[in-house]
Each structure stands twice: as structure tokens, then as C-alpha cells.
Chain A
Amino acid sequence: MTNSENAVLDNERLVWMFTQMLRIREFEERVKRTFEDHPGVIRGHTHLADGAEGSIVGSLATLEPGDQLLTTYRCHGYPIVLGTDCKAIMAEIYGRRDGLCGGYGGSMHLADPERGFLGTSGIVGQGIPQATGAAWAAQIRKQGQVVLCFFGDGASKQGAFHESLNLGSLWKLPIVYIMENNNYNVATRSEQEDANAAAGEPLSVKATAYSMPGVTVDGGDPVAVYETVGAAVKRARAGDGPTLVESKVYRLSAHGNLIAPPGVPLHYPEHEAITVFGNREEYEAALRGDPVPRFRARLVEDGALEADRADQIAQEVRDEMEAAVQFALNDPFPEPEAALQHVYA
């Protein structure tokens, strides 16, 4: 990752962003396909970031070495961009010995602390105070580090959100609170559970309760996200405190795969817009606005990327993720007794 002081992105950087978005998309597609192609291989609960690539890549493009992040259980996309080996990520999701966390955590609990990815929480909102603590540590170290804290709109109703933003603001911690608002909290729409959403307001207004800036950005536009988060990162690095960034995205898959007892085959149902609210039009509009092909088209049109090169990148990405799947399928399971390790440091 290169220095983000200069907000202007050159072609190389734009192409890099596009490549990362493609990598996330392809990886998530392959996770989803595993349920069809290799039933029984993925157990438990996965949550995909397809649709949020612009937001993830735009945010992470602002980071410098030493910066850190904590995320939700919808976490695959971040280590992919940070450079974690996708074979290890897939192997973790498949519960294998050489998974990123040795098979101990699974899809919801990835971590790559050496790359700054300190971890996740499976409980809505509970990573926000943890990120706040990491930001306190960064503040003490005085090495100019910043922490990015990712969470969803559902988390903003949690007491943990309130308590953490108050402290982040009070102590002027070097943190950016990034709310990826996909307008759904599992199967509930924001307007049903959020007073601001019900009033037609952007959720970034919540920032005023903590005397910190709040800003809303189109999470489908990686450049806009890069600029918005970049400004917040700069503010945090300067010691001026946190910002609440509301990044609006639309997740293209259902909240997660079907949850069922063992024996019932798992798969990805249709998006809740359709299954719960019968609103196929909303979903299809989102598909038409899919940020990945949109960004590709924009780069090609602007001359930043040749169509042939785009195709080539797509093929490379497909090959990379195919290799990840094959690696994971063939990786052995951990020894059962390994379950007794790592309880204590």
C-alpha cells in the first residue's frame, strides 16, 4: 500500500483498486459456489461482501503500514486486500489445518495481526469498543498509526456504538468509525429499527451526539470512499479525533447462508428484499448498480484501463481463487487433539 497523502489516484492505483475489488468478488463467489459444488465442505455461517467491494477497497487504500483494523463477521474482503494469502483464508473457511487461524475460527473469525487485521467479533457491534481500545494503544505509541473500525448499520443501535464513539471523541483517538450501511440488519430494514432512518435521515447524523464529524458517502464508488475515508484518516492521524463515515452499500447476497441443523444442506437463499419484503425491483436495481462492473466501465471509459487488460486481470483473479479452492479442498483437517491448544497464551 502506498502513501495516501496525495488524494489524486494515478492509473496504477486505480487499476490496483479495481483488481482488489475483483479479487473480493471472485473469492466470495467461490465461497458461495462451494455450497453447490462441494456440499458439506463449509459448515456454519458465512457472510459475503459482494456489493461492498468499493467501500472495502476505497477504505483500505488509505492505510499505511502499521495501521490497524477490526471488522465484523462479514470479514473476508479485508484480509484479501491486505495481502493475506487467499489459500489460507479459504482453508480457514473450509476448517482446514492450514487455514488462516488453523481452523479454529472459521469464516466469522479471521485475523491477520501481522498485517494489521486484529480480528473480528461475531456479535453485532462488539468490535467497536475493541477498535477504540486499539486506537488508544496507537495514541500512546505516537507512531502516527490509525485504526479503522468497520461495522454495519445494525450495530449503530447497540450500546457499544454509543459508548465507544463517546470515548473516541472524548479522548480524540486516532480512529475512523466506518459504518457500512446496507440498509438491512439481517432481515430487518433500517427504517423498521432506526429512528433516524425512519425519519429519512442519513445515519451519519448520529455523530452529532458525540461532537464528531459525520459524513455519508456512496460506498459503491471506491474513489469517493477513498477520498472521504482518506480525509478522516488524515484528521485522525493529525490527532484531531474520530469521524463517523457512513458508507452506503448494497449487499448482493442474503445476510448469510441458510442456518440449519447438521444434515440439512446449506445454501445461499435469495436476498431478504425478495424473500421477506417481496421487493424484487429493489434487488434488481441494485444488481444494475453493481459497483464492480460499474468501476470497470468507468476506468475503461476514462482510459485508465484497457478492456483487454481488464479481461486479463479477471482471468488471473479467477485462476487465483480456483487455486485457493483447490488448496483448501486438499488441505487436511487439523488433528482433533489440536482443539486443546491455544486456550491460554
Chain B
Amino acid sequence: MQLDARAASELLATMWRIRCFEERVASLKRSRQVHGLIHLSIGGEGVAAAVCGQLRDDDGVYSGHRAHGHAIAKGAPLDRVMAELMGRADGICAGLGGSMHLVDVEHGFLGATGVVGGNLPLALGNALAARVQGSDAVTVVFFGDGAVQAGHFHESVNLAALWELSLVFVCENNGFAEFTPRSAHTVVERVSDVVGPYGFERRTVDGGDVPAVYEACGELLAAARQGRGPMLLECLTHRRRGHYEGDQQSYRDEAADAEWERLDPIARLRDDARGHGWLDDHAIGELERAARTEVDAAVEFARASPFPEPEAARRLVYAT
């Protein structure tokens, strides 16, 4: 489960793809080519890549409102996701869902949601289905620390533990829920402690330390594949941009932000890879360039895609 040259290269590639994609989305939002409520994963690329990179297409992933990184890491094509954000007919949800409602069933990205923690019970159901089928497919659900105080977290945790489902709870604890710090929401600092009574296998890691996330997740997944569960992976992360694009972030602390700048997961993994002799500067540069090229192509694809016919809004309400 330790990182090697090949894995490090793949992870960096994914992380660059997410980073370039998200930076481009921010720019497109400023120029109003992307509209609506957008939550970026900048700073969270490491967790997305390290977790999803170890999953199969038949493993199910659910996410929250900050889902672009998870979807991309799970295999959602950049061009279809970009087209979705730009509201085009070739969007991965035909322009119907938008940023918070991405779905890519083919690659096992089962859904995002605008309701904090709203997908926890759905992930529970997916894990139940896998158990009933006798499959060793694993379900992963991503959520933030803000979701942990919600009742549906508690209800899902109890059932997952009771039925020992192969469900991996991945909490990206960035210390904020919307605009307020965790300390305003609960006295319990570590999410791992909230599930303490349930006897979960759990790990808490620095979400910016990709090798650590990769290794911890790998161990949990190996156990889950053998039918054990549930487990909790708490990743301490830093949300580099506001809660949503446009958020003034008057509530953040500058010193804390400066400290986290140097904890950028991409920079850290890159330095790590260099240090191990896995990748040289040229190879690292190539990964970044390839990502930018792919994102450029995605934007071209999206721009070339037409807007949906307005009447298309009336279809797909019901399954036939």
C-alpha cells in the first residue's frame, strides 16, 4: 500500500487535472461562463486522488456539494464535467444538475448533493446492496466535518456499524462548515471521536500528505474488500478558497492561510516524488502541462456543445 513511482505519477497526474480544472472553473465563473453555486476542491486534490485512485469502477462513491475533485478522480471525463458546469447539452447530466449534482454511473461516481450529509444514507444503501449481492465492491462516501453534527450522520453510522457494511466514511475535516469554524458547531474536535462509541476501524491523517492518505486508505480498503466495515478515514485538510466562489472569506485567519500555502498537497507530493527519485523536474512539468492541455480541450468541447433546448427541461422527470 506504500506509494511507488508509478502510483505517485498517477496521483500527481490526477491532482494536477483537478487543480487545473478547478482553477479554470474559477476563472470561467468570474467571466460568467459558469454560473450558479460552485464549490471548488482546490487544496483537496490529494484526498480525492489518493482515495478514488484505489477504487474500481464498480466501487460506488458518493460525495457532497464539493464534488468536482471526487468525480474527476473517480474517472469522470473532464470535458463532460466542464460541459455540465457550463450548462451544455453534452454535460454529464445534460445540463440538468450542475456542480452539486454530478453523476457518472459508468465510473461509479453515484452522486453529489446540495444537502449537507444528504448522501450518507444513500451510501449506506449502496453498501447494503453490495452486501446483499455478495459482491466485494466497496462504497465510499465523502463528507465534510459540518455534516457530522447532522442527524443523518448519526443514523447512518449506527446502521453501518450494526450491519458491518463495507462502507468507508471519508471525512474531509477542513475545520469549517460554510462560514463558521468547527468549534462553533461542536465541542468534539476530531470527527474520529464522534464515531468512537461504534467501534469503527478508523484513521486520522493529514489530508495534504498524499502518501499517508494513500497508505491509510489502502489498509482500510483491503479490510473492506474482505467484508469488514465500516471504517472512517478522517483527513485533516485546508480549504484554500471560500465556501463558494464569491465568498469574501472575512472569517479566515491570514497566518493560518500562509501556513497552509506551504502544505499544498501537490507541492508536497511533487517534492516527495523528486526526493525518492521517482520523477524528475521534466516529468513533473509534463504532468502539469498534460493536465492544462486536457482542461483546455475540455473547455473547447464545452463551448462547442450547444445549450439544451429549453423544452428538454420537461423530460426525465419520471423513469418510463
Contact = CB atoms under 8 A, between A and B. Distances in A.
B196 interface: yes
B179 interface: no
A320 to B, nearest CB: 42
B1 interface: no
Most chain B CB within 10 A, of A159, A193, A205, A211, is at: A159
A2 interface: no
A166 B153 CA distance: 12
A127 to B, nearest CB: 14
A206 B162 contact: no
Contacts of A195: 157-159, 161-162, 197-199
Contacts of B151: 158-163
Contacts of A161: 151, 154
A209 B155 contact: no
Interface string B85-118: 0000000000000000000000000000000000
A163 B197 contact: no
Interface in B176-208: 185-188, 193-199
Interface centre among B149, B187, B197 (most CB of A within 10 A): B197
B241 interface: no
Contacts of A198: 162
B301 to A, nearest CB: 42
A208 B197 contact: yes
A196 B154 contact: no
B188 A209 contact: yes
A209 B150 contact: no
Interface residues of A, number: 23
A157 B158 CA distance: 7
A209 B149 contact: no
A211 B155 contact: no
Interface in A199-213: 199, 201, 205-206, 208-211
A194 B158 contact: yes
A209 B151 CA distance: 13
Given A194-B162, A206-B197, A159 B152 contact: yes
A162 to B, nearest CB: 3
A157 B193 CA distance: 18
Contact of A211 (B157, B188, B199): B188
B interface majority secondary structure: helix
Given A206-B197, A209-B196, A159 B155 contact: yes
Contacts of A210: 186-188
A194 B163 CA distance: 10
A307 interface: no
Contacts of B154: 157-159, 161-163
A169 interface: yes
B155 A169 contact: no
A162 B153 contact: yes
A170 interface: yes
A161 B157 CA distance: 13
Nearest to A210: B188
A209 B193 contact: yes
Contacts of B159: 195
B55 to A, nearest CB: 25
Given A159-B152, A169-B187, A193 B162 contact: yes
B120 to A, nearest CB: 10
A206 B149 CA distance: 14
B150 A159 contact: yes
Interface string A149-166: 000000001111111001
Given A170-B185, A195-B158, 19 more contacts: A157-B158, A159-B150, A160-B151, A161-B154, A162-B149, A162-B155, A163-B150, A166-B149, A170-B186, A193-B158, A195-B161, A195-B162, A195-B199, A196-B198, A201-B197, A208-B193, A208-B197, A210-B186, A210-B188
Interface of A: 157-163, 166, 169-170, 193-196, 198-199, 201, 205-206, 208-211
Kindly list the 5 A-B residue pairs having the minimum CB-CB distance in the complex, ordered from nearest.
A159-B151, A162-B154, A195-B161, A195-B162, A205-B197
8 contacts: A158-B155, A159-B150, A159-B153, A162-B149, A166-B149, A195-B197, A195-B198, A209-B194
